[in-house]
Structure 1
Amino acid sequence: MVVRSEQGSGVRGWSARIARFLVIVLALFTAVSLVAADAWWIRVFDFPRLQFAMVLAIALALLLFTRSRRLWLWLPLGVAALAVQLWQVVPYFGFMPQQAVSADSCEPADRLHVASLNVLQSNRDFDRAIAYVREENPDVFLAMENDAAWTDALSAALDADYPHSMKIPQPNTYGMALWSRLPFAEVERNELAGGGTPSIKARLTRADGGVMTLFAVHPRPPRPGQDSGQRDAELVLLADLVRESGRPTLVVGDFNDVGWSSVTETFQRIGQLVDPRRGRGFNATFDATNPLMRWPLDHVFHTDDFGVLRFAKGPDVGSDHYPLEVELCLSPGEFAPQQEAPDLTREAVEDAREELEDASKGGEGFEADNLTATVPDD
């Protein structure tokens, strides 16, 4: 007998039920993720969009294979949810256009090699991280989640090769330390949105005497008991500092956010920054311990003065993050005409102000009256 429709029992029937359940649940998650709110239980749905898309694709295939009941209802619902998820993540696939232009070659004096690593504070495999930095041999290395023990171990190994540094050890998983071979014209610690989450602004002096600005950041993630308002405010305020700092500028760190989120898009527009990850693959840096649930939390953004020589995820070094590696070439006259940062629109400014206002209502460690003045005028 030829089966022409879903059977009420057996493997085919249960497969159809599971497929319908997945479509309903993931369509609901997709709808919730589009809500403009900083509640942690909403913003966590920003992260696993690729995973949601893969499960939706499997569920849709099962619906067709099992010839599910009410296919006219479940198929369009699943396709719509899949389209939303793919619309967010497809720009990061390797076959898509690159937002940051590639550099085929570069004079040694114009090269900048940066590596960043969230070391995982509870991790005590210092030697593995140190061996990685020595092998990668970047010009600038950013460590995050460094407490006193991590800072001491890294300092003992790196200070001789990296004579310029700023170290902010903290026991709350938001420590930060920056090592550089390039001298600091100036360096300062900031705490843009309070909450014990410092950031660093360093003006790096190049061999020809020119100066570039590097910001390092590691805001708090959305999680139970902690909404995204503080993270969002910190990124918006940082973007405003980037615009005021002049060019060339780059921003490095664990954003605890993905590049396709609305907040990171606002960050790019306010800061007038390009994303070298777009069109070069996901290079997912977290969670290194879970191959099924990974997304790109660590980022480098830069002004259009740079071209990209290399952008890559580093090896497993014992942390729950992989390192992020980028090699840039500074040549504004060559690269700026070839690429364009997202436009600074009125909508982006309004979104930034809304993020700051929302964060000020439930924020911790900062005053709302001090926030809006940093947002660019219309």
Structure 2
Amino acid sequence: MRFLRVVFTAILATFLLGLGAVCAAAAVAAQWGRTSLAFDVLTHFAPFWLAGALVATLAGLALRGPVRVAIVGLGLVGTFAAGALIAPELVRHTGPHAAPGAPGQLKIVQFNAWHNNADLERTIDWLAREAPDIVVIEETTPAIRALIAAKTNWYVTCPKCEVMILSRRPPVADGVAFLGHRSGPLSRATFRDARGEFTVLGVHNAWPTDPDQPMQERRLAAAVARFPRERTIVTGDFNSTPWSFSRRRWDRALGLVRRERALFSWPAVQYKRLRWTGFPYLAIDHVYAGSGWATVSVRRGPKLGSDHYPVVVILAPVAPR
């Protein structure tokens, strides 16, 4: 028994030492994401580095001797470095808030429907039951466009685009912009309510490893600048997490307030090559709104055959003073 205990301890110590070293190294290297897009890719997985470092720290306390000091030391380095990436998201301002009964509410659904979605009927049925005022939907296909036309009476902005904006009221203006073959679409629709006009922009950005993403962010910032920021709303699949330095920089550049906080939206399905992923671990679907909007609620929707969860946000005009 003593021999087995020694072997088990050695295996555990080796595993924890490796776990602590990997998480500490990744979390520390991610700090260079402030100036390097290559290192910034590591920031998107900050929750993993934090969880692994915490496991190494707590489990390492059960060991003895120099190996305990090494494991706990690496775990603490990883915990503080990863925590420094995540903490700003947890304490940032998410804009003004309004009570559930606030007048003039606007319900928005942001959803990447996924081109491989095999449950389109349930997807459209859920959207119909939610009865949102506006839906921004990405990765549309001819099949989902046909279902939307057959089963709903929504107004559709850019009906053949990869990013579509659906609405219960007709827009007063709309448009779409493309920059390059792989840049991804940027759709917009302008509506009018009791307070005047407001513009909704829908976007689907490339992965952070794709050189197109910074260009897409610059394009979006330029598009937002064309409209009165106070009432502008931007939502979509940004493929960018809130603990990345690039996301924080573009948050500032947009001049709007991101209304969800650390809302994990991907993946909603298990991939063949990633069978262990039964839970969402990337927060990449975002909703922004100008200072003229107050947040009533933000929630994640159900699994709907897509690899993304939908995001449901209710906004209300800020009460005049």
Two-structure CA RMSD over aligned residues (Å): 2.4
For 1:301 and 1:313, the matched residues in 2 are separated by: 15
Q: Which residue is equivalent to 2:236?
A: 253
Which residue of 3, 18, 21 corresponds with 1:21? 18
**2:96 aligned with 1:101, yes or no?**
yes
Q: Which residue is equivalent to 2:48?
A: 51
Q: What SS does the aligned partner of 2:265 have?
A: coil
Q: What does 1:104-115 correspond to in 2, within 5 Å?
A: 104-108=99-103, 110-115=104-109
- Check 1:165–1:68 CA distance in 2 against 1; reply closer, same or farther (3 A cut): farther
**2:111 aligned with 1:78, yes or no?**
no
For 2:84 and 2:66, the matched residues in 1 are separated by: 28
Q: Which residue is equivalent to 1:64?
A: 61
For 2:20 and 2:44, the matched residues in 1 are separated by: 18
Report the TM-score, using the length of structure 2 for normalisation.
0.88
The letter of the residue matching 1:13 is A
For 1:332 and 1:200, the matched residues in 2 are separated by: 29
The alpha carbon displacement at 1:8 in A equals 9.5
Q: Which runs of 5+ in 2 are unaligned?
A: 270-276
| Equivalent pair of 1:139/1:182 in contact (CA under 8 Å) | yes
After superposition, the C-alpha distances for 1:64-91 in whole angstroms (9 at most, x for unaligned) are: 1112525444433321221121222245
Q: What SS does the aligned partner of 1:295 have?
A: coil
Q: What does 1:159-308 correspond to in 2, within 5 Å?
A: 160=153, 162-169=154-161, 175-192=162-179, 194-206=181-193, 208=194, 210-222=196-208, 227-246=209-228, 247-278=230-261, 282-289=262-269, 290-292=277-279, 294-308=281-295
| Equivalent pair of 1:15/1:62 in contact (CA under 8 Å) | no
The alpha carbon displacement at 1:307 in A equals 0.9
Q: Which runs of 5+ in 1 are unaligned?
A: 170-174, 335-378
Q: Which residue is equivalent to 1:37?
A: 36
> Which range moved further: 175-184 or 251-260?
175-184
For 1:294 and 1:139, the matched residues in 2 are separated by: 28
| Equivalent pair of 1:48/1:293 in contact (CA under 8 Å) | no
Q: Percent identity?
A: 21
Aligned residues: 309
For 1:116 and 1:315, the matched residues in 2 are separated by: 12
After superposition, the C-alpha distances for 1:268-318 in whole angstroms (9 at most, x for unaligned) are: 11111112223xxx3311001233452211110111211111100001111
The alpha carbon displacement at 1:130 in A equals 0.7
**2:309 aligned with 1:314, yes or no?**
no
| Equivalent pair of 1:239/1:268 in contact (CA under 8 Å) | no
The letter of the residue matching 1:322 is Y
Q: Which residue is equivalent to 2:318?
A: 331
After superposition, the C-alpha distances for 1:239-296 in whole angstroms (9 at most, x for unaligned) are: 2321331131111000011122111111111111112223xxx331100123345221
- Check 1:277–1:163 CA distance in 2 against 1; reply closer, same or farther (3 A cut): closer
After superposition, the C-alpha distances for 1:149-207 in whole angstroms (9 at most, x for unaligned) are: 2211222222x2x13432234xxxxx11111123312111012465251111211111x
Report the TM-score, using the length of structure 1 for normalisation.
0.75
